């Protein structure tokens, strides 16, 4: 399973890249707005760093406008994937952009029916939001399992990109279910590293080693 970072904060990406575990980045209008500054410049900087897929979301609301905005975003960098919100307009825009060879990530997906329609119009990625479903007492992971099964049975090429991830357990569950990608805030990736027994074990190894060295002198 590929790991994307769900952020528009360049320092977070710079800190994670040397670890060799980051395959791409997802942004959304909220994340870019939080950074301030010029969103295009931020997206270009992220593309230059990551050299992998970077989702940039349209803020238009009609298919015609989404196509125009998507074309413009795609020209920013070859790594840009145009994100469109699910809906009639988004689905129509996805079909047209995909026809032009532009990769599309259909976002704000909350049902298997929506994921099916996104795949039918050739989305490169579909983004079901697991955390926001959990927030309304509906299992986000049940949806991931359903979408993975549907895409497998019908051999859709659309990749399942698990979004709205809130903790390491979402990542492990997504991997177990066979999702293609999990996009995580930097703090969730930090959580994937953490285990107290690793810390305790390392302290003991180093202390034993030091003691043995001291006994030699
Ligand atoms: C990424 O593609 C999504 O926009 C993001 O994961 C949404 O996360 P949130 O529900 O924490 O805002």
> Sorting pLDDT into bands at 50, 70 and 90, what band is 212?
very high
Nearest CA to ligand 1 atom 12: 164
Is residue 95 part of the annotated active site? The answer reads: no
> Sorting pLDDT into bands at 50, 70 and 90, what band is 167?
very high
Report CA(41)–ligand 1 centroid distance (Å): 21
What pLDDT score does 75 carry? 98
Q: What is the pLDDT of residues 106-157, one digit of tens each?
A: 999 999 999 999 999 999 999 999 999 999 999 999 999 999 999 999 999 9
User: In ligand 1, which atom is closest to the CA atom of 107?
Assistant: 2
Name the pTM for this structure: 0.96
- Residues in contact with 43: Cβ distance below 8 Å, sequence separation at least 6, in sequence order: 8, 27, 32, 54, 56, 73, 76, 77, 80
Report CA(209)–ligand 1 centroid distance (Å): 45
What pLDDT score does 43 carry? 98
- What does pLDDT average to over the chain? 98
> Sorting pLDDT into bands at 50, 70 and 90, what band is 187?
very high
d(CA 107, CA 167): 20
- Whether residue 51 has pLDDT greater than 90: no
Report CA(43)–ligand 1 centroid distance (Å): 17
83, 120, 187, 204: which is the annotated catalytic residue? 83
Average pLDDT, integer, range 174-187: 98
d(CA 87, CA 198): 46
> Sorting pLDDT into bands at 50, 70 and 90, what band is 70?
very high
Average pLDDT, integer, range 73-97: 98
Q: What percent of the chain has pLDDT over 70?
A: 100
The runs of H, that is alpha helices, within the chain are 10-16, 29-35, 39-50, 63-76, 88-99, 112-120, 130-135, 140-154, 168-177, 186-193, 196-216
> Sorting pLDDT into bands at 50, 70 and 90, what band is 179?
very high
- Whether residue 35 has pLDDT greater than 90: yes
What pLDDT score does 217 carry? 83
d(CA 25, CA 81): 10
């Amino acid at each position: 399973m590929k790991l994307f970072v769900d952020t528009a904060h360049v320092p977070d990406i710079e800190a994670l890249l040397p670890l060799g575990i980051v395959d791409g980045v997802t942004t959304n209008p909220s994340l870019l707005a939080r950074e301030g500054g010029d969103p295009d410049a931020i997206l270009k900087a992220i593309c230059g760093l990551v050299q992998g897929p970077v989702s940039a979301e349209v803020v238009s609301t009609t298919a015609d406008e989404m196509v125009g905005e998507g074309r413009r975003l795609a020209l920013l960098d070859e790594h840009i994937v145009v994100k469109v919100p699910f809906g009639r307009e988004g689905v129509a825009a996805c079909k047209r952009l995909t026809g032009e060879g532009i990769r599309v990530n259909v976002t704000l997906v909350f049902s298997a029916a929506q994921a099916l329609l996104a795949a039918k119009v050739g989305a490169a990625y579909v983004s079901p939001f697991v955390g926001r479903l959990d927030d309304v007492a509906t299992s986000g992971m049940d949806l991931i399992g359903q979408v993975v099964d549907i895409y497998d049975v019908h051999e859709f090429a659309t990749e399942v990109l698990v979004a709205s991830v809130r903790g390491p357990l979402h990542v492990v569950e997504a991997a177990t279910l066979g999702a293609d990608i999990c996009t995580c805030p930097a703090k969730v990736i930090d959580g994937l590293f953490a285990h107290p027994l690793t810390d305790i074990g390392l302290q003991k190894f180093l202390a034993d080693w030091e003691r043995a060295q001291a006994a030699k002198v």
